Amino acid sequence: MKKVELIFVPTPGAGHLAPTVEFVKRLIHHDDRILVTILSIEWHSSGFADAYTESLATLQSDRIQVIQVSRVDPPPLHLWTLAPEAFVYALIQSYIPHVRNAVTNILSMKSTSDSTRVAGLVLDLFCSPMVDVATELGLSSYIYLTSNASFFGLVLYLQALHRQISSEFEYPNPENPSKDLGHLIPGFANPVPSCVLPSFMFNKHGSYTAFVKIAERFKDAKGIVINTFEELETYALSCFVNGQNPPIYPVGPVIHLDSLPHPELDQLQRDRIMKWLDNQPESSVVFLCFGSHGCHGPPQVKEIALGLEQSGQRFLWSLHMPETPLNDAAGAVHYKNPEEMLPEGFLERIQERGMICRWAPQVDVLGHKAVGGFVSHCGWNSILESLWHGVPIVTWPIYAEQQLNAYMMKEVGLAVELRLDYRGGTSDIVEAEEIEEGVRQVMDAGSEVRKKVKEMAEMARKAVMNGGSSFNSIGRFIEDMLANT
């Protein structure tokens, strides 16, 4: 039986690596003809990402190999602070020659084999400029979008609008919200307000320009693979079925069903968290977690604590310590423990009703019968994990495309709105009363949102089963990929 090999190039970072690896596993399970090489690239040492990258060693088999690409010097770190997308774009540009060499070496080894042929490159969103590598070497290229179909609509909208305006967007004036008529973005049934667009669209330090260049390469791919499923984004996906776009393959939910490894979460800590959940009634705990980079300053931490206390609900709160000093009224302050940021007497007052930890095994927590709600930053991986387990979300986006994700979830009736346009900062505080109300709503056992999320959980699981929509979409991708080889 002839074998075909796909070469995956994910963007550095566990949030992109994990769904890529899970899709790889699903591909080779789906079809015995598929072999995969993952080209792993890095840009800095991060405990979270490093722990996951190290775990990739266990993937090595006769059908999956992981190759570490020669490391390059990253762009200046100040660029990451000013314009993260511009930083990543510059990093990917630096890696193109090394990726080309790696792919060339793979091709030269396969040229002596009669049983295996390289079918193409599968590129992460940010790696789309590497389409040129595939074209130069006579290979097909595919984009694997670890976000959702609605975000793909934004990519199309940005390409079209840039040809007319070719400049960064302006932040809406909060004093005149009625002047914002919204944006008619493909995949959204209603105009999308400017306040929920990703921050890179307003960034004047290079992020906007970088993302336009990334988006422009989508049209050159043979297909777009998206980590979503038809039942979740029926309307959005229907908007892209035309001859103007590359074929779309919804293959999700692609999630890591075991909690990702993290150096700050040892087995003892995990056992402590799970034991506490074991002692709580079913669907009685609201879980608060804001992603690997989601931190709040002391004023916001105090408001969260007061909101939880006033809600009367049981809670598990993953409270991360920031990597840099926090600013309060007295200036920069180093906090050694999260508890130092909490209101005085808070821990004594809540006693056994709540638990605070630095890191939590998110997938395990969401899958626990005691958890009934999730206050989330609305990263796409987290949204899919919550839907998989039937846990409704309270929207609290922070960065990247999370505001757009939150808006999409609210638009389809699968989330409780706390904030859609939150972007952090000392001047943007979500008050205790808002948090209390959001928690009460998500924990309402009779709410329409809870019912719809439970129904969506069933559809998510059916989608990936034999004969399901995503299962069939993977089959179409494989057959089209073989036809393009």
**Domain definitions of the chain by residue range:** 3-257+463-484, 267-445
Q: What percent of the chain has pLDDT over 90?
A: 73
At 161-172, the pLDDT tens digits run 888 887 888 877
Rounded Cα distance, 300 and 320, in Å: 13
Tell me what the mean pLDDT of segment 257-261 comes to.
68
- Name the least confident of 325-339, 403-417, 439-453: 325-339
At 120-138, the pLDDT tens digits run 999 999 999 999 999 999 9
Q: Is the pLDDT of residue 57 over 70?
A: no
Task: Please state whether 428 falls in left (phi above 0), alpha (psi between -120 and 50) or beta.
Answer: beta
pLDDT of res. 44: 65
Average per-residue pLDDT for the chain:
90
Banded pLDDT at 207 (limits 50, 70, 90): very high
Tell me what the mean pLDDT of segment 10-24 comes to.
89
Token pair in block for residue 102: 């790696």
Fold category of 3-257+463-484 in CATH:
Rossmann fold (3.40.50)
Long-range contacts of 192-195 (CB under 8 A, 24+ apart): 192/404, 192/407, 193/407, 193/421, 194/169, 195/403, 195/420, 195/421
Rounded Cα distance, 35 and 5, in Å: 4
Q: Is the pLDDT of residue 442 over 90?
A: yes
Q: Which residues of 51-71 are buried (b: 16+ CB within 10 A; e: fewer)?
A: bbbebeeeeeeebbebeeeee
179 touches 429 (CB < 8 A): no
Query: Of the candidates 419, 310, 431, which has an alpha carbon nearest to the alpha carbon of residue 375?
Result: 419
pLDDT of res. 359: 87
Homologous superfamily of the 267-445 domain (CATH):
Glycogen Phosphorylase B; (3.40.50.2000)
The upper half-sphere exposure of residue 461, i.e. CA atoms within 13 Å in the direction of its Cβ, equals 11
106 touches 37 (CB < 8 A): yes
Amino acid at position 171, single letter: Y
189 touches 235 (CB < 8 A): yes
Rounded Cα distance, 232 and 459, in Å: 8
For 237, residues 6+ apart whose C-beta sits below 8 A from its C-beta are 149, 187, 228, 230, 248, 250
At 362-396, the pLDDT tens digits run 999 999 999 999 999 999 999 999 999 999 999 99
Tell me what the mean pLDDT of segment 95-120 comes to.
88
pLDDT of res. 54: 61
pLDDT of res. 257: 83
Rounded Cα distance, 317 and 437, in Å: 17
Q: Is the pLDDT of residue 330 over 80?
A: no
pLDDT of res. 167: 81
pLDDT of res. 458: 98
Say what angle helices 448-464 and 432-442 make with each other, to 10 degrees.
Answer: 60
Tell me what the mean pLDDT of segment 262-275 comes to.
82
pLDDT of res. 336: 66
Q: What percent of the chain has pLDDT over 70?
A: 89
- Name the least confident of 48-62, 185-199, 248-262: 48-62
Q: Is the pLDDT of residue 47 over 70?
A: no
Bridge partners, 40 (sequence order): 68
First to last CA, the chain: 16
pLDDT of res. 332: 44
C-alpha distances in angstroms, 381 versus 43, 156, 191?
22, 22, 25
At 277-292, the pLDDT tens digits run 999 999 999 999 998 7
C-alpha distances in angstroms, 236 versus 153, 389, 451?
8, 23, 22
Token pair in block for residue 167: 């400049």
pLDDT of res. 92: 96
At 59-94, the pLDDT tens digits run 767 899 999 998 899 999 999 999 999 999 999 999
Whether the pTM exceeds 0.85: the reply is: yes
Would the CATH topology of 3-257+463-484 be identical to that of 267-445?
yes
